[in-house]
Amino acid sequence: MDIFAFNPETDLELEKVIAASPANVWRCLTEPALVEQWFSPKPWQAHDVVLEPRPGGAFHTPMRGPNGEAMDEGPGCILIAEPNQLLAFTDAMRPGFHPTGSGFMTGVYLLSPTEAGTKVTARALHANPEARAQHDEMGFFEGWGTAMDQLAAVAKTL
Amino acid sequence: MDIFAFNPETDLELEKVIAASPANVWRCLTEPALVEQWFSPKPWQAHDVVLEPRPGGAFHTPMRGPNGEAMDEGPGCILIAEPNQLLAFTDAMRPGFHPTGSGFMTGVYLLSPTEAGTKVTARALHANPEARAQHDEMGFFEGWGTAMDQLAAVAKTL
């Protein structure tokens, strides 16, 4: 199911085929102990992850850097969780769909089985082309790409 | 199902028992031709309503006033649509869960069957107490209350 129409003017996307089953990729996306292993490009690391894979559930991924730097934007909201198929979350809402009054993006992971394992399509949906450009300049492709490689490494261990 | 935790500091709520089945109340909430009959307190009226009752679907209710005044904030996004039970939408996202970068509220209609018909709980969830107060001063209780009375009148005709 792909209800997230991709708009190249406002959105960013990357794809990777991972040598693991959709079920194991799903575990990596939704089990906090696994998320902490791959979500943040090393040497940064996510910690104390809270992830409730249901509409309205919490999505909280505080991160810390190698010198004790902290990054925590507070909890976001899961929008859709279809096991082994689709996970979407946003920082435009807190858990329970409470709007934040702002919000930078909606993140989407689409999974589909392939002969080699699972094709993962990761998307960041933004409000406008300026936000897309900002995310691109912040290093979307390198950051999410590295995270996706880390996800693949974790999935292979399951 | 009530996944929308009510927070009295940020949210507003009103309830009404409507002498109609949950199925007919659901029709009033989701069929554009019916929504146009009740959604806007008269003499204002919603028109050209687009409502796709599925996660990520469009929720668009342009309104016009008795002297040709127009009010149109553009399309919002359906968050959850559980037939005969729960409808939630927000102006913090456009269809397809694209964040708008802002957003005033999430609207929720919870339906539950009663002996007399259907109890409808309508909630407006806001980012903070200031937004709640603003909505209260804008006339939430009178506006949504009148709309709910109009909904009840439409539901009885089905």
The pLDDT of residue B2 is: 55
- Chain A, nearest residue to B58 by Cα: A3
- Chain A, nearest residue to B94 by Cα: A127
The pLDDT of residue B30 is: 98
Query: Are A98 and B55 inside 8 Å of each other by CB?
Result: no
Q: What is the ipTM of this complex?
A: 0.90
The pLDDT of residue A120 is: 97
- Determine the average pLDDT of the residues in A115-128: 96
Predicted confidence band of residue A1 (pLDDT cuts 50, 70, 90) = very low
Which residues in chain A touch residue B99, judged by CB atoms under 8 angstroms apart?
90-92, 103-106, 125-127
Question: Cis peptide before A41, with omega less than 30 degrees from 0?
Answer: no
Query: Are A92 and B106 inside 8 Å of each other by CB?
Result: no
Residue A2 has pLDDT above 60, yes or no: no
User: Could you tell me whether strands B63-64 and B93-94 are parallel, antiparallel, or unpaired per DSSP bridges?
Assistant: unpaired
3-state class of B50 per DSSP?
strand
Q: Which residue has the tokens 């991972």?
A: A18
Q: Is A138 buried (19+), middle (13-18) or exposed (0-12) by CB count in 10 A?
A: exposed
Query: Are A106 and B100 inside 8 Å of each other by CB?
Result: no
Q: Which residue has the tokens 């730097």?
A: A69
Query: Are B92 and A106 inside 8 Å of each other by CB?
Result: no
Closest Cα in chain B, distance from residue A3 (Å): 6
B96 is written with which tokens? 């397809």
- Determine the average pLDDT of the residues in A34-59: 96
Closest Cα in chain B, distance from residue A97 (Å): 7
Contact B90, B105 (CB under 8 A): yes
Which residues in chain A touch residue B96, judged by CB atoms under 8 angstroms apart?
3-5, 125
Distance of CA B37 to CAs B53, B108, B142, Å? 18, 19, 17
The pLDDT of residue A134 is: 97
The pLDDT of residue B5 is: 77
The pLDDT profile of chain B, 158 residues, written as one tens digit per residue, is: 457 778 999 999 999 999 999 999 999 999 999 999 999 999 999 999 999 999 999 999 999 999 999 999 899 999 999 999 999 999 999 999 999 999 999 999 999 999 999 999 999 999 999 999 999 999 999 999 999 999 999 999 99
Q: What is the DSSP string of A72-122?
A: ----EEEEEEETTTEEEEESSEEGGGEE-S---EEEEEEEEEETTEEEEEE
Taking the C-alpha atoms of residue A73 and residue B32, their distance in angstroms, rounded to an integer, is: 38
Predicted confidence band of residue A116 (pLDDT cuts 50, 70, 90) = very high
Q: Collect all residues with Cβ–Cβ distance below 8 Å to A138 and sequence separation of at least 6.
A: none
